Amino acid sequence: MTNTPNCEPTARQATSEPDAIFAAMERLRAAQRGWLAAYDRLGVLQEMIPEARRRWQVLFNGRPGDCADAPEWIEANTAFLAAIEELDRAYEVVLSTSPTTIAGVADLLDYVGRYDCQPLAGGTILENALERYSVEGVQKAAANFLPMIAATLPRRATGEADPIFAAIERHRAALRGWLAADDRRRVLWDVIPKVGRQWIEANTALIEATEELDKALEVVLSTPPTTIAGVADLLDYVSRYPWEVAGAGACSEQANECYGTILQNALVEGYSVDGVVEQAAGVAHALQKAAVNFLPMIAATLRSLTAQSS
């Protein structure tokens, strides 16, 4: 890894070779342009060719066995299929290529944290890969992406008091408090009337614990680390499932109900954990906003840390 303050050897040593991640990002940009061109071509032909001559629709069904579609429609669908396959391969390469420079890490995080150009996507590049792609290789690469990035960064102690570590500990404590409050409500669920004082108190405590948990995660996702080690630990932390970082007290029943990582839940739902109680709309919105801005914030932090060391 080059251009790194207080740099220790990393999992992947820097060389004089160009950082491969830049070529991987260019390949994905080209694949996105190819996909969009093929998609637009189908849209144009859909208006020109009678429905009876364009039965094959890649997005909804396979090619009919007795396909008598117009030749240009068949050609356009074939091209669209090829564009989809290349896009999937390009996604997988971007999400599984370890950068060899800090500049590469920063540009990659900035890139995958931006909204996808596909008209059917509706999320960031990383979010779409985690949530919407059915291709196993893409999903696997996306799930391992942040741990891979964290592993490329050096973790040498600098003696500085990085505020991100306190923010992470606050979130971990809030998660343990939420678990305790949720456990209490589960115990009472079948043993007392749902209008009793204990039930009301348990629900109030769970609501308060949920709000503190989401506020704590908002702080985690919006606090710029001041060290490279802080960046690495933060990326590793938010890529885990909530129950993995809670420590003692995370019961198996709750673990089975967890569907996303810490960052994934915040991106998709605006929750630290899968929502089980109503929360203030402003808290959820603020958390989701921090989650959307998280990767660009980390990218800017890495560039700032690199500039300071120059």
Q: Any idea of the CA torsion for 288, 293, 295, 296, to the nearest 10 degrees?
A: 170
Question: Does 167 lie in the same domain as 122?
Answer: no
Question: Does 129 lie in the same domain as 42?
Answer: yes
Report pLDDT digits (tens) over 3-51.
Answer: 333 333 333 444 567 999 999 999 999 999 999 999 999 999 999 998 8
**Is residue 15 a part of any domain in this protein?**
no
The per-residue pLDDT for 157 is 62
Tell me which residues of the chain have a pLDDT lower than 50: 1-14, 252, 255-256
The per-residue pLDDT for 256 is 47
Domain termination residue (choose one: 152, 181, 207) = 152
pTM for the whole structure: 0.81
Give the domain extent around 245.
163-309
